[in-house]
Structures are given as C-alpha cells and as structure tokens.
Structure 1
C-alpha cells in the first residue's frame, strides 16, 4: 500500500524531509520552487525561522524583493533584536536601490552588535554608493577582519592595470564576438548612476555591466544614431572578485553577456549560454 505522507505524525523526521527538499531546490537553482516549498511548510509552522529565511532567500534570488522582505519582517516582528535578519533586510533593500533605507537598517544592526561582518559589509556598500570610498574601504576591511573567508577584500587595480585587464578580457572572447565588439564602445564607470540602476527591474546598484543603444540588427536597419555601448561598473566588478584572475573572468563574462544583448539575445538565451 502506498504511504500518504500527509498523514505522517509531525516530528523531526518530517521536517528533515522538508529540509532536504529545500536543499534540492536550492542546489538545482530553482529559486521559486525553493520559496514555494518553504512557504508550504510555513502555512502550518509560521514561527519556523529557518524556513522563513529559506523563503526569503528563494524569493530574493528570483528578484521578488518585496515578497522576500515580507518574510524577513515577519521574523523581526517576533524578535526585533535579530541582528542577522536586520542585516539581511538591509541588503535586500540595498539590492532594490533603496539606499537610505538600507543605511538605516545597517545602522540599527550595528547598534545591536558591532561584531557581525555582514553588517560592516553592508555599511561599506552604502558608503560606496554615496561615493565615500574611504569609509567604504574601512568598512570592507572590518568585514574581512571579522570573517576573512566570507568577505575577502575587494581587488583594487590602478587605472592602467584595469585597462590591461580589460584588454585581456577582450582577447578571451570568441573571435566572432571580438569582431562584433569592434562596433561597440566600451565605457568604464565606478558605479551605476540612478538612471542606469533603474534600467533594470527591480533597480540594481550592484550591476556589473549595462548595454545601451541600438542592437546589431537595429543598427544595420538604419535605426537610431546612438552608438552601441557597453558600460562596465568597475567597483562592483572589483568587489565581486577575490583576485586579479577572478576579476579577469568576471569582466570577460560581463562583456560576453552585454554583447549578447547587442546581438539581440534575450535573457533566456543569455542564461542558456551560462552568462547570467
């Protein structure tokens, strides 16, 4: 006779099965399925903090930031002193471009505890967005001191070193893309401005690159006089990278991704080629 799991007694074994399903969804990259499974468990176990964090993580990874924030806020309604969740909520609002709200939350988290690396990292992100690079580097250094493995120091190159790295990245591209790149301008900026940040939905201050202007097909159809342009956001790329080789890899992937948009690939095609 087939067992119907709906009638199993509530116990740790059942929770372990649910947890295993979450891990499988996470490892498979199915973020919405992850959130769905966690929310299913929460219907009968609304106070389960761990599953609520899973739901928030899945929704955040799928860029459903408002829904993710709702789960984090539910945890804080029960325990406003949960510094990990205050910091997570700060990062969530930062990812959505709400820099001032993120700054307030990171400040509240710091007042609760000053030894949490993620809080200092968040303060660094906010300082960087406000172009206070000295404060940003100090905050990133604090995060690294508290958790060296989790928060490696950003790679910082001189202008000449970054230009050399960019040239190397171009050489790493397939030959046909190097030809396409001859028709595209490359601009390097420190960080996305407000307009660029909001060129995607939801807004993203951690953009690595952005394509603007006519696509290859539009240009050859005589549409528009704008120059096709790829903008690379240097400080975001450097912060994401653990060493110069990793930075080279990130620049190459970002160029490939944005060139895909120039060639008319949609996000599904970009993802299929492993360029998310």
Structure 2
C-alpha cells in the first residue's frame, strides 16, 4: 500500500488529516494514524482533540468499573449477554450489516428479549470498539462516560428498545 501524501495545497487541512488518520487506523497502521490525529489537533485543537489511548488491560479495567456502575437490570442483562471488545468494526461485519458505520462505538448482535421464541443456537453479544471509544472523548473520564452510554444503548437494544426510544432516553 502506498503511503498517503496530501497534495501540496492540502497540507494544513485538519479534516484531511483526521480522515487519513481514520483510514490508516482501520488498516492497522496505528502509529501513522496517531501522527495524523496529532496533526489535525495541532491545526485546530478545539475541533480535533487527541484520542485517549488505553492499553487492553487499562480498557478492561475501565470497562469493569463502568459495568459495576450500571443499574441492576442492565447488570443482569450483562450476565445473559457478554461484552466483547474489538479494536474496530471489521470489514466482515460491514459485509453482513451494510448499515454499520465504521465509527460506531458499540453494537448489539442478536435477538432482543421480547422477540425470542426459542434459542437460536447462537449467542447474543454486545461488541465494543475500543479505538472508536478512545476517540469519543478528550479524557479518560469522557471515554468512561461514552462507554457507559454505549453499554446502556446496546443493552437497551437487547431489552427491546429501538433507536427512537433510546434517543428519547438520552442514549442516542
């Protein structure tokens, strides 16, 4: 894959830098992606915050704290539907769910409680996308808040709420 180099007239374009960073991040070229996110931030810090980067262990610790803080009905749902952390949505996910946005923070995969008639033979799951969540906040505290909202949203789907209902609850 050729290196991405901007045309000379686009060198100071923070939107271009962020877009190219997102593309490189999706390709797994994380150091190059972070350099472009830093460039976008340097050019326009108020609109392009630096992503908060967490190790897998740090993210799991944060996730455990957030899970423990959830309302009892959601904690019970977590026992029924496990959480899996992925770096980003994969191309295979997009092929099976064409409406999936590559910047999505989380995804419930399965059948909501109200629509289960019998066991499907496949387990339900909540997917969290760590790299997207890291870019959703400007601090560890903001990432924690986004993580909580995302979990409430995805488990809301499991409990039978649609997008409009979740939006009405402030979990859009």
Same fold (TM over 0.5): yes
Question: Could you say what secondary structure the match of 2:126 adopts?
Answer: strand
- Would you say 1:183 and 2:80 are equivalent positions? yes
* CA drift at 1:111: 3.5
**Which structure features the higher share of helix residues?**
1
Higher RCO structure (Cα 8 Å, ≥6 apart) = 2
Counterpart position of 1:243: 139
Alignment check: 8 A CA contact 1:177 1:259 kept: yes
Report the alpha carbon displacement of residue 171 of structure 1 after superposing the two structures with TM: 2.0
- Residue 200 (structure 1) shift: 5.3
1:133 match: 30
Please, what TM-score do these two structures have when normalized by structure 1? 0.57
Map of 1:193 onto structure 2: 90
Displacement of 1:107 in angstroms is 5.9
Answer with 1 or 2: which has the greater Rg.
1
Q: Secondary structure at the match of 2:80?
A: coil
1:229 aligns with 2:125: yes
- Normalised to the residue count of structure 2, the TM-score between the two structures is 0.90
Mind listing any 5+ residue stretches in structure 1 that lack a counterpart?
1-105
2:157 maps to what in 1?
A: 261
Q: What is aligned with 1:205?
A: 102
Q: Which residue of 1 aligns with 2:166?
A: 270
Distance 1:269 1:179 in 2: 21
Match of 1:170 among 67, 76, 99: 67
Distance 2:140 2:158 in 1: 27
Measure how far apart 1:112 and its partner are: 2.2
Which deviates more, 207-216 or 229-238?
207-216
Structure 2 unmatched ranges of 5 or more = none
- Contact 1:214-1:227 at 8 Å conserved across structures: no
- Deviation of residue 248 (structure 1)? 0.4
1:256 CA drift (Å): 0.5
Aligned-partner Cα distance in 2 for 1:169–1:223: 29
Take 2:114 and 2:10, find their aligned partners in 1: how far apart are those partners? 54
RMSD of aligned C-alpha atoms?
1.7
Aligned to 1:224, the other structure's residue is in SS state coil
Paired residues, number: 168
Q: Distance in 1 between matches of 2:48 and 2:80?
A: 38
CA distance in 2, matches of 1:251, 1:208: 8
C-alpha distance in structure 2 between counterparts of 1:196 and 1:190, whole Å: 13
Deviation at 1:158, TM superposition (A): 1.2
